[in-house]
Amino acid sequence: MSAATTASNSGEDATAADEFKLGAVIITMGNRPAELAALIDSVLAQEGPAVELAVVSQGVPMPPVPAGVRTVELPENLGIPGGRNVGIELFGPNGRDVDAVLFLDDDGSLPRTDSARLLREAFTADPELGIVSFRIADPQTGHTQRRHVPRLRASDPLKSSRVTTFLGGASAVRSTVFEQAGQLPAEFFYAHEETDLAWRALDAGWSIDYRADIVLHHPTTSPARHAAYFHNVARNRVWLARRNLPAPLVPLYLCTWILLTLVRRPSGEAWKAWREGFREGWRTPAAERRPMRWRTVWRLTRLGRPPVI
C-alpha cells in the first residue's frame, strides 16, 4: 500500500470517527453539586465533536447545569438502571439520536480530553464492538481497585482486553445494543444490572472491551457503603441467573456464589440481608426469561469467565 493510500484511508477513518455521535447520561441524587459540575466540565472539554449531555435527577430538584444539557426531574428514585434508562430515552427511543451512550457516575470526572476521541475510534474501527468499559482510577493515588477490572485475571489494571461485563458508571454502549438486547433491567434497582445487559449483548453477537487508556477518575469507595448492598446483590444474582442462564447452569452458578459469599465471611447483619435477598430472588418474578445460547456459554468460557463464576 502506498503512502498516499495510507494517508487517504487514515483521513477516511478520521472522518468516520468524527461522524460517530456520542451522548452521555449522568444520574444524580442532587447531593454532589460540585462533583457534578466538574464532571460536566470534563465532558464538555473533550476533543472533537461535542458530546451530548443528559442529566437525570432522581426524586430531587435538578441541580444547576449548563444550557443545552437535556434534563428530566423524576418524582422518585428509580434506582441506577431505571434512571439510566430514562437518560437513554432523552436521546430518542433506545438512544437512537446518538450512536453510543456513555454512563458516568456523578462523582467522577474524565481526566483526559481524548477519551471521547478514543471511544469514537474504537467503535468505528470495530463494528462488532458493543460496549466499552473504562478504567476507574482514584484521583489522588491513581490506584484502580481490583473489583473495577471486569475480568477474573485482574492483577494488571493497565492491560486492555476483551471482557464479559462492564462497569456501569464508567462505560459506553452502542445504541444498537439497546435495540437488539434491551435496556438495563430497571427492577434490579442496583447491583448486577451491567452483567445482565452484558450477557444479553454477548448473546446477540456483540463484543465488550475493557480499555485501560480510557480513564474515569472516581474516589476509592466500597460498594458495601450502601445499606441495601448485600440484599440487592443476592436478590439480583438469583434474578440474573433465572433470566439469562440455561436451566442446568442456574444451580451451578448460584451454588458457586453461595460458597464464595461464605468464604468472604460477611458479618451477621450482612449475612442476614444476603439470605433475605436470596430468598426474595426466588419468590419474586425475574421478568422475561431469555436463556443465552450454549454458543454464548462457550464464548464466555473462552473469554475466561464461564457463567458459573
Tell me how far apart the alpha carbons of residues 286 and 20 are, in angstroms, rounded to a whole number: 35
pLDDT tens digit sequence for 218-263: 998 776 555 588 999 999 999 999 999 999 999 999 999 999 999 9
* pLDDT at 154 (0 to 100): 85
DSSP state for residue 123 in the 8-state scheme: H
Question: What fold, for 3-221?
Answer: Spore Coat Polysaccharide Biosynthesis Protein SpsA; Chain A (3.90.550)
Question: Would you place residue 1 in the very low, low, confident or very high pLDDT band (cuts 50, 70, 90)?
Answer: very low
pLDDT tens digit sequence for 292-303: 999 999 999 999
Provide the residue ranges of all domains of the chain, joining segments of one domain with +.
3-221, 224-302
* pLDDT at 267 (0 to 100): 87
The helix (run of H) or strand (run of E) holding residue 5 is helix 3-18
Task: With beta carbons less than 8 A apart as the criterion, state whether 136 and 102 touch.
Answer: no
Tell me how far apart the alpha carbons of residues 153 and 151 are, in angstroms, rounded to a whole number: 6
223, amino acid identity: P
152, amino acid identity: L
Tell me how far apart the alpha carbons of residues 202 and 208 are, in angstroms, rounded to a whole number: 8
* pLDDT at 203 (0 to 100): 98
Which residue carries 453461595 as its cell?
Answer: 258
Q: Phi-psi bin for 215: left (phi > 0), alpha (psi -120 to 50), beta?
A: beta
Query: Would you call 288 exposed, middle or buried from its count of C-beta atoms within 10 A (0-12, 13-18, 19+)?
Result: exposed
* pLDDT at 3 (0 to 100): 39
248, amino acid identity: P
In this model, does residue 5 exceed pLDDT 60?
no
* pLDDT at 193 (0 to 100): 97
Alpha-carbon torsion (92, 189, 199, 52), positive or negative: positive
Question: What rounded mean pLDDT belongs to the chain?
Answer: 93
The average pLDDT across 118-133 equals 98
The average pLDDT across 44-61 equals 97
The predicted model scores a pTM of 0.92
In this model, does residue 309 exceed pLDDT 60?
yes
In this model, does residue 10 exceed pLDDT 80?
no
